[in-house]
Structure 1
Amino acid sequence: MKKNIFVSQALFYIIFSVLVGSVTAEEGGRIHIGNLKVIPGLKIQEVYDDNIYLANGTNDSYEAKESDWIFHIKPEVTFDYTFHERGGLKLAYFGDLAYYGEYSSNDWQKHEVLFDLDYKAPGGFIVGINNTYVNTDDPYSTANDYKLGVPLTKRWYNDMAGKVGYEFSRRFRVLAFYNFFKQDYKEEVDFTQDYRVNEVGMGVEVRLLPKTWGFVRYHFGERDYYTHPPGTGVTESNDSDFDSQRVNLGINWDTRAKLSGEVNFGYLWKKYDNVYDSNGDPYEDKDTWIASTFVSYKATDKTGVSLNITRALRESYSDTNEYFTDTGIGITLQQKFMDKFTLTPGVSYSNNDYNKPDNESREDNNYRANIDLDYQIQDWLKAGVGYAYDRKDSNYLEYDYTDNRFMISLSGIY
């Protein structure tokens, strides 16, 4: 009954979208108020997931695989203000409301607010602020896979990246950076994931080609775990706070180039504040190469390809000395055909190498693949089907899983 109610609501939204979309399509498909564009959107999606808890499928009841249908309603709205030839200001909201067919106690919501300012003054002054706030209880974890697959893990995080600088003669830029990140879990049992990061940096960019820039950047950062519940044995004198320094080199492109994104490789040094963790095990300072590369190439109006390469050190908890090296690569192809259809296949692989002792070593291999087919019904309305495959192979059996998801959706952005 509950699912039927949501399906009825979804049908109402579709009809409403079609009616509103028909009006706006005649007006050009966008709402304009001077330099301001208001862009509302809505996506409804039905997903069949054959392993909603990402269990390994053993006979143990805790690891039994369960499947379900999950219905998503994803509203969004973007306010986009353009500074003529000088950049822009965006404020956006993205929502995801998920409703399970059988396991309705797992229903979750995700709310995301984005603020983005990018401005370059006529004299060469540059300022940029990008801030993302997310409040969610979805089961998809964070970068360190904490409670991956566990429903209703309530948390929020705020991720801000700021820069100011100056461009000389359109050939040379000097920039200063400030980044801030904070993550907070609602339940005290998840206190090992509560932390904040402050990072400052500076960089130089040089124009190499008309639309290509080379850069070098230096950052110094501090991570502080700020929750220490009484009785846990975790204090400021044994938690996994650390300082980090990193140097990055790479190239990026102006937004109107066929190539977009950034090639970014570097080196990281991490030094812990404390000598021992709450279990009496010593912390191990670490240095290694890192990467944060994402490049898209638009070969033709109908064909595009993107490549991402990542490498990072990821902390597991505030109460242990455990961390892992996360190294990954992925590629996605986008191909339009017959005017109305777009096919998007993608594959990725990552390796998680943990710093456990040799006799307890842990290594995870993660494999992902997806394929999506979209049909453009109108310039503001499209339908899609998709499939996603996700597998983790670990030498610790309890972390293994295989997940298959089948999706069908209808979305409109006007």
Structure 2
Amino acid sequence: MKSNKKFILLILAVFFITIIIQYAHAADSPSITQETVPSGSETVPSGSETVPSGSETVPSGSETVPGGSVPGGQETVPGGSVPGGSVPGGSTGDAVITSDILGEKGGIFHPFIILEEVYTDNLFATNSNKKSSLITTIAPGVWLVFPGTKVKQLQIDTTITAPGGLHLSRIKPEGGSRRYQSYFLYSPEFIFNSGYSKHDHINHKAEALFQYNLNFGLSFDLIGVLNDREEVSGDGLSDTLYRHQDNLIDFITTYDPPSNKFKLQLALSNYGLDYKDTVVSNRDRTDKSYGISAFYKFWTKVDLFTEYNYSDIKFDSGTINDSIENRYYAGANWEITEKTNGLIKLGYIQKDFNSPSVTDQDGISFELRLQHEFNPKRSLQATGFRKFHESDMAAASSFLSTGIDVTLGQKFTEKWSASLGIFYKRNEYNGFDRNDDIFGFGPAIKFEPREWMFFDLGYFYYQSNSNYSFYDFDINQIYLRATLYM
């Protein structure tokens, strides 16, 4: 994989300079007394691409396909990770440094294993000559956390077509009273395709997080995500899987002064994508992104903010698609009641290509996240988005993606729960007259007979309709998953 030593050195320099300032400044500073929020829980609206801590469920309509992926790598499932970024254990634990630091309460060592059987009627997501298969997945893994806790500290996955690697922007969660938090996860995923053994493969996922909170309102959040996995070709015809590696380094530093009225946030990230197969090596690229946000607490439960993001997108060989994105947003982050919270960002994107032969793009962009609890047993989650993505086909430079995703959750008893998710999105390609309308839904039921074990049984339907018929396809899947964890 490509490396970016200057970027990593910049992050380290900022971190260590701030540590020096901290020791020079904080000799007489009071201890941290911020509101207790479990570090890294990243619940809506504070996090991105996450599920609420302890929910242990995956939004069924979140474009995930159990046991596989669909074209473009946008809807992959890292089966080797805790499913969908869920939180084994579900308990938030204490947010103060006590004997828990040695794992006495939450533990620092959390092994798990996921066993999954999936029946699919369209293994390679093709328009015709569909291939059905039974997919077996065995995904052992372990995550380590220090100080110890049962809360999985990172629930995030990369999207290979998204500039910077993230489908939705990542916002650092509020700092808790813990001085620091560290976390690491590794999981291989062994996948066996009945009838198509030549496509059996092993995926790998590793992720890490380090957070540090200083006394005078300055905090740091550094994450790393590495994936080595396979996806279907996506050309509507080929029974082919393409292997790629992608990695993300994302750094956020926040200054939240004691007044609690204003907050300033700086973000830097580096994302790299590298394909093993030369036929798609034109997709290899490196994205460098920078962002700055200013927040103002308008009401006790409402933050208003403005945000600017810059991304420099460079391809290794397909340099004609090199571009620069400028994104401008204004929005609100609210927690109106204990039952309702959310985030809305509305703005404008300019995508300027380096080559004069490629048409520049601009347009309205937005992100929406909403979480509402109707009652203790019923909840609703919704996300909406509109943004540019890097193209997954050689004839186009990019595509504009607009969509919405809604999930309804219902808890019947302490052991039984269910969810129903539905999503829709439209992809409009630049440089090639192709438009795709994508729709999917999935009901699922969950049974948790023990605190250390649960089962998921569900159905998933995915349909893509394009103005070019050979890009049309649909997928029906039934899956049964068992998860055991400590």
- What displacement does 1:309 show? 0.6
- Partner of 1:52 in structure 2? 123
Q: Aligned to 2:470, what secondary structure does the other structure show?
A: helix
C-alpha separation between the residues in 1 aligned to 2:267 and 2:118? 40
* Aligned counterpart for 2:256 among listed residues 153, 167, 173: 167
C-alpha separation between the residues in 1 aligned to 2:469 and 2:340? 42
Contact 2:116 2:482 in 1 (8 A): yes
* Aligned counterpart for 2:247 among listed residues 158, 174, 183: 158
* CA distance 1:225–1:80, change in 2 (3 Å): same
C-alpha separation between the residues in 2 aligned to 1:248 and 1:326? 17
Taking the TM superposition and a 5 Å limit, the aligned residue runs for 1:134-149 are: 134-139=227-232
- Partner of 1:119 in structure 2? 212
- Partner of 1:368 in structure 2? 440
- Partner of 1:392 in structure 2? 464
Q: Aligned to 1:191, what secondary structure does the other structure show?
A: helix
Contact 2:136 2:193 in 1 (8 A): yes
Query: Residue type of the partner of 1:303?
Result: R
C-alpha separation between the residues in 2 aligned to 1:81 and 1:45? 30
- What displacement does 1:119 show? 3.3
Contact 1:109 1:138 in 2 (8 A): no
Query: Residue type of the partner of 1:131?
Result: G
* Aligned counterpart for 1:265 among listed residues 332, 346, 355: 346
C-alpha separation between the residues in 2 aligned to 1:43 and 1:249? 41
* Aligned counterpart for 2:429 among listed residues 354, 358, 364: 354
- What displacement does 1:261 show? 5.8
Contact 1:211 1:257 in 2 (8 A): no
Structure 1 vs Structure 2 CA RMSD? 2.6
Contact 1:240 1:317 in 2 (8 A): no
Q: Aligned to 1:102, what secondary structure does the other structure show?
A: coil
Contact 1:55 1:400 in 2 (8 A): yes
- Partner of 1:99 in structure 2? 192
* CA distance 1:206–1:299, change in 2 (3 Å): farther
Taking the TM superposition and a 5 Å limit, the aligned residue runs for 1:160-239 are: 160-168=249-257, 169-226=259-316, 228=317, 236=319, 239=320
* Aligned counterpart for 2:405 among listed residues 322, 330, 342: 330
Contact 1:137 1:151 in 2 (8 A): no
- Partner of 1:77 in structure 2? 142
Query: Residue type of the partner of 1:371?
Result: P
Query: Residue type of the partner of 2:288?
Result: N
- Partner of 2:474 in structure 1? 402
- Partner of 1:413 in structure 2? 485
- What displacement does 1:81 show? 2.5
- Cα deviation 1:76-95 (Å, max 9, x = unaligned): 32222247544632212233
* CA distance 1:148–1:179, change in 2 (3 Å): farther
1:132 correspondence with 2:245 = no
Which one has the largest radius of gyration? 1
Q: Aligned to 2:126, what secondary structure does the other structure show?
A: coil
C-alpha separation between the residues in 1 aligned to 2:251 and 2:140? 27
C-alpha separation between the residues in 2 aligned to 1:314 and 1:386? 30
- Residue ranges of structure 1 left out of the alignment (5+ in a row): 1-20, 22-30, 58-63, 229-233, 276-281
- Residue ranges of structure 2 left out of the alignment (5+ in a row): 1-88, 90-101, 148-175
1:345 correspondence with 2:420 = yes
* CA distance 1:313–1:388, change in 2 (3 Å): same
* CA distance 1:259–1:127, change in 2 (3 Å): farther
C-alpha separation between the residues in 2 aligned to 1:326 and 1:130? 26
Contact 2:179 2:214 in 1 (8 A): yes
- Partner of 1:382 in structure 2? 454
- After TM superposition, the score normalised by the length of structure 1 is 0.79
Matched length:
356
* CA distance 1:337–1:366, change in 2 (3 Å): same
Q: Aligned to 2:419, what secondary structure does the other structure show?
A: strand
- Partner of 1:39 in structure 2? 110
- After TM superposition, the score normalised by the length of structure 2 is 0.68
C-alpha separation between the residues in 2 aligned to 1:258 and 1:76? 34
- What displacement does 1:267 show? 1.2
Q: Which has the higher contact order (CA 8 A, sep 6+)?
A: 2
C-alpha separation between the residues in 2 aligned to 1:89 and 1:382? 27
Moved more, 172-181 or 340-349: 172-181
* CA distance 1:383–1:405, change in 2 (3 Å): same
* Aligned counterpart for 2:331 among listed residues 237, 247, 250: 250
Contact 1:52 1:149 in 2 (8 A): no
- Partner of 1:278 in structure 2? none
* Identical columns (%): 23
- What displacement does 1:301 show? 3.1
- What displacement does 1:192 show? 1.1
- Cα deviation 1:32-61 (Å, max 9, x = unaligned): 25775322211101100011011112xxxx
Contact 2:345 2:366 in 1 (8 A): yes
- What displacement does 1:265 show? 2.8
C-alpha separation between the residues in 1 aligned to 2:201 and 2:236? 15
Compare the two structures and name the one with the higher strand fraction: 1
- Partner of 1:295 in structure 2? 370
Contact 1:333 1:346 in 2 (8 A): yes
Q: Aligned to 1:189, what secondary structure does the other structure show?
A: helix
Contact 1:96 1:110 in 2 (8 A): yes
